[in-house]
Amino acid sequence: EVQLLESGGGLVQPGGSLRLSCAASGFTFGTYAMTWVRQAPGKGLDWVSGIRGNGDSTYYADSVRGRFIVSRDNFKNTLYLQMNSLTADDTAIYYCARMKGESFHRNWFAPWGQGTLVSVSS
């Protein structure tokens, strides 16, 4: 069974940093592209970032480019999201999701993890 388990969320001050992790199991992690999606409280889904299966290509939404860094460790079966210069607008549940196949492009997101909550506040 495919499982994705996010961790690393919490309360951080504006301007601070946080690193999220997504531990994967039940599939050959390195052969699938992965993505991060967030959802602010009571709001809709917002695509954040993605990474190719071998980790050599990364992609970002304009709202996080230059502040967030996505990476993966295919030996540890773990996806990461390093979030820097956080603002209140980054407050959300952050979900990781598997994509279809190794390529990031022309794809969909399934399954999703349970999410981890990031709160940015002073």
Partner 1 sequence: QSALTQPASVSGSPGQSITISCTGTSSDVGGYNYVSWYQQHPGKTPKLIIYDVSDRPSGVSSRFSGSKSVNTASLTISGLQAEDEADYYCNSYTRDNTYVFGTGTKVSVL
Q: Which stretch binds partner 1 (CB under 8 A): 14-22, 24-32, 55-63, 66-74?
A: 55-63
Exactly one of 24, 33, 34, 35 binds partner 1 (CB under 8 A); that residue is: 35
Is 33 in a helix, a strand, or coil? coil
**53 in contact with partner 1 (CB under 8 A):** no
* DSSP string covering 31-68: GS-EEEEEE-TTS-EEEEEEE-TTSS-EEE-TTTBTTE
* CA nearest to 32, candidates 8, 7, 9, 4: 4
Give the H or E element holding residue 22: strand 18-25
Binding mask 1-30 for partner 1 (x = CB under 8 A): ------------------------------
Task: Supply 111's token pair.
Answer: 């399954």
Closest CB 23 distance from partner 1, rounded Å:
16
* CA nearest to 72, candidates 23, 17, 117, 109: 23
Interacting positions 96-115 with partner 1 (CB under 8 A): 100, 104-115
Judged by beta carbon, residue 66 or residue 75, the one nearer partner 1 is 66
Exactly one of 86, 92, 95, 116 binds partner 1 (CB under 8 A); that residue is: 95
Whether a cis peptide bond, with omega within 30° of 0, leads into 111 is: yes
Q: Which stretch binds partner 1 (CB under 8 A): 18-26, 56-64, 71-79, 84-92?
A: 56-64
Task: Supply 120's token pair.
Answer: 């940015």
Residues in the site for partner 1, rule: CB under 8 A?
35, 37, 44-47, 50, 59-62, 95, 100, 104-115
